[in-house]
Amino acid sequence: MSDAILEAHDVTVEYAARTILKIDRLAVRRSETLALIGPNGAGKSTLLRVMGLLERPARGEIRLDGRPVAWGRDLLPARRRFASVFQEPLLADTTVERNVALGLALRHVPGDQARRRTGFWIDRFGITPLARRQARTLSGGEAQRTSLARAFAIEPDVLLLDEPFSALDPPTREDLLRDLQRVLRETAVTTVFVTHDRNEALRLGDRVGVMLEGRLAQLDTPEVVFGRPAGPDVARFVGVENLVPGRVARASDGLLAVDTGTLCVQVPGELAVGRPVMLCIRPEEVVLQPGPTRSAPDSALNHFPGRVAELVPVGMQVRVLVQCGRPLIALVTRRSVHDLSLQVGSEVTLSFKASAVHLIEREDIGASR
The residues near 142 (Cβ < 8 Å, ≥ 6 apart) are 96, 127, 130
User: What is the band of 299 on the pLDDT scale with cuts at 50, 70, 90?
Assistant: low
Alpha-carbon torsion angle 36, 159, 75, 55, nearest 10: -30
Q: How confident is the model at residue 297 (pLDDT cuts 50, 70, 90)?
A: low
Residue 369: what pLDDT?
37
- Residue 295: pLDDT band (50, 70, 90) is low
Quickly state the pLDDT bin for 368 (edges 50, 70, 90): very low
Please give the pLDDT value at position 17.
86
Decide which of 3.40.50.300, 1.10.3720.10, 3.40.50.40, 3.40.50.80 is the CATH code for 4-237.
3.40.50.300
Looking at the predicted structure, is the pLDDT value of residue 365 above 90? no
Q: What is the mean pLDDT of residues 312-323?
A: 95
Out of 108-112, 133-137, 291-295, pick the least confident.
291-295
CA distance 86 to 64: 22
Q: What single string gives the DSSP state of each residue in 349-361? A: EEEE-GGGEEEEE
- DSSP secondary structure string for all residues of 38-104: --TTSSHHHHHHHHTTSS--SEEEEEETTEE---SGGGHHHHTTEEEE-SS----SSBHHHHHHHHH
pLDDT of residue 69: 95
User: Residue ranges of the domains in the chain?
Assistant: 4-237, 242-368
Is the per-residue pLDDT at 298 higher than 80? Answer: no
Per-residue pLDDT band at 292 (split at 50, 70, 90): confident
Taking residues 71-90, report their average pLDDT: 91
Q: What mean pLDDT is reported for the chain?
A: 94
pLDDT for position 366: 43
**pLDDT at 72 (0 to 100):** 82
Question: Cα–Cα distance between 151 and 156 in angstroms, integer?
Answer: 7
Look at residue 363 and tell me whether its pLDDT is greater than 80: no
Percentages helix, strand, coil for the chain (3-state, rounded to 5) are 30, 35, 35
pLDDT given for residue 300 in this prediction: 78
pLDDT exceeding 90 applies to what percent of the chain? Answer: 91
* pLDDT surpasses 60 at 11: yes
Burial of 100 (0-12, 13-18, 19+ CB in 10 A): buried
> Out of 26-35, 52-61, 66-75, 229-238, which region has the weakest mean confidence (pLDDT)?
66-75
When pLDDT is cut at 50, 70 and 90, the band that residue 153 belongs to is: very high
- What share of the chain has pLDDT > 70, as a percent? 96
3-state secondary structure of 36: strand
Distances (CA, A) of 117 to 134, 181, 232, 273: 20, 20, 47, 64
pLDDT of amino acid 293: 64
Distance CA 281, CA 357 (A): 5
Residue range 186-230, pLDDT digits in tens: 999 999 999 999 999 999 999 999 999 999 999 999 999 999 999
Coil, helix or strand at residue 224 = helix
Region 301-328: mean pLDDT is 95
The CATH code of the domain at 242-368 is: 2.40.50.100
**Which pLDDT score is estimated for 294?**
58
- Say what the pLDDT of residue 265 is: 97
| DSSP letter, residue 134 | B
Query: Does the pLDDT value for residue 326 go beyond 70?
Result: yes
